[in-house]
Amino acid sequence: MNKNKIHWLLVIGGLLSLTMFNFAAIGQARFYAAVSEGPLVAGQTFQVQYIVEDPKEPPQFRLPSFSSFTVHDSFDSKSTVIQSGTGLLQVYSKIVVLSVNKPGRYTIPGAKAFIDGKWQQFSSTKVQIVKDWLPA
């Protein structure tokens, strides 16, 4: 498999499987962040998703400065999820596509969101960026 196909498989796999790194509850609304599941490779994009579940009103997001990263894109997403036994759940997300060129440990800063009448802060998290990754 050529390197370009491997890159896109990693990107798609990362977008489909996210690892939570922060979770908090506010009344019924919950907010947390997720980052693409590893490995995170230098020079390749990965996704950070700030998620708010079941707020009374759509949240307003404020992104932090991503000074150690290159920001490729950011966009909003809204979905409705069916939960077993509890009905429908509204899920809002702010998705940011990032990359970094050098391997090492980096801190992804937390965003802020106005949720149900109150500004809330997502926690920051540390990620490990590797130089190269080859599947077994």
Per-residue pLDDT tens digits of the chain, which is 136 residues long:
444 444 433 444 444 344 444 444 444 788 999 999 878 999 999 999 999 998 999 999 999 999 999 999 999 999 888 776 777 888 999 999 999 999 999 999 999 999 999 999 999 999 999 998 766 5
The two tokens of residue 51 are: 């998620």
Domains in the chain, ordered, with CATH?
A: 3-130 (2.60.40.10)
Predicted TM-score (pTM) of this structure: 0.75
Q: How far apart are CA 64 and CA 125, in angstroms?
A: 13
Give dist(CA 83, CA 93) in Å, integer.
Answer: 18
| Size of the chain, expressed as the number of residues it contains | 136
Between β-strands 40-41 and 125-130, what pairing exists: parallel, antiparallel or unpaired?
parallel
